Amino acid sequence: MSSPSLVGSVICANCPSYLNLKGVEEEGLYRIPGSGREVKRWQIRFDIDHDVNLLDEPDLYDINIIGSMLKSWLRELPDELFPRSIQKEIEDNCRGAQETPQMLRDELSKLPPYNYYMLFAITCHISVLYMNHEKNKMNYHNLCICFQPCMRIDAFCFFFLVCDWKNCWQGCSTEREYLELEYSVLEGTPMPTSSAGQSYAPSYATDEHVMGSSMTSRPTTSEERLTRDQEGYLMPTSAPQSYRKASEAGTSGAGHHGRAGLSVSPALSPASAVSSNRM
């Protein structure tokens, strides 16, 4: 497939948005694979057209095609969206937490915009799947089996990202930094250097597809602005419109399912979820 900075960001925005509207109540999603031939055909469509509005495609007849394409894309990511070394630090420092640790929020905010908004959209979709698990039969254990390996998210952090999704996000603090870097490259100005004379690049930037993929078209103010939609979900105002639509579609009506917008079983806790997932 093409560069994940363009095609990947569109797949990550469009596929969850489509599935949130069409498939989260369907039993078999992510357990019944879509036709390999059709998955390849839609991958080629994204490669050629870059942006495909799946909701306007009359010949898209099977939600499992899009589910399989999204999982395939996640498996093929060259780097971790959320570095496992950071995940381990969070678990080591916050083991036993019953609510989303502030350290998790802080470390998510430090991610490059590409990573931040990818995780934001994907985990929103997974949390909506969990909300509808009585209909789609994708309980928490099944979601762990389905998504943890391909996303490379450890059990401790995965629990909060799925079961307390709303409270994990406080804005992407690196966005302005990356935008300034991108503008300097586009304008042909020299990249800032450190006192040691080394070219400056924001932390976490380990691959060119991360460096060039903020997925925004305008700078933010000096402080990350947050807006609260009618259901009480926090959303960075700088989030791309396609991501805002994906989240709004996925969380519509979810504000009545508890503090985090999710109906979490009383028997499910971070400790029990981690231990059951390691069995």
pLDDT (0 to 100) of residue 80: 92
Is residue 206 a part of any domain in this protein?
no
Is residue 113 a part of any domain in this protein?
yes
Is residue 219 a part of any domain in this protein?
no
**CATH, residue 267:** 1.10.555.10
pLDDT (0 to 100) of residue 208: 34
Neighbours of 17 (CB within 10 A): 25
pLDDT (0 to 100) of residue 77: 87
Is residue 193 a part of any domain in this protein?
no
Q: In Å, how far are 17, 30, 63, 113, 179 from 27, measured between CA atoms?
A: 18, 9, 11, 33, 41
pLDDT (0 to 100) of residue 184: 84
Is residue 244 a part of any domain in this protein?
yes
Is residue 143 a part of any domain in this protein?
yes
Phi/psi class of residue 171: alpha, beta or left (left: φ > 0; alpha: ψ in -120 to 50)? left
Is residue 37 a part of any domain in this protein?
yes
10-residue mean pLDDT series, the chain (279 residues): 51 87 91 93 88 89 93 90 97 96 98 93 96 94 95 96 97 92 78 48 39 32 33 36 43 36 44 51
Question: How many domains does the structure of the chain reveal?
Answer: 1
* Residues 94, 101, 12, 69, Cα dihedral to 10°: 40
**Closest alpha carbon to 84 in 148, 169, 174, 152:** 152
Average pLDDT in the chain: 74
Please indicate, yes or no, whether the overall pTM of this predicted structure exceeds 0.95: no
Is residue 80 a part of any domain in this protein?
yes
Name the residue range of residue 144's domain: 4-172+224-277
pLDDT (0 to 100) of residue 13: 79
pLDDT (0 to 100) of residue 228: 32
Pairwise CA distance, residues 202 & 211, whole Å? 8
End-to-end CA distance of the chain: 36
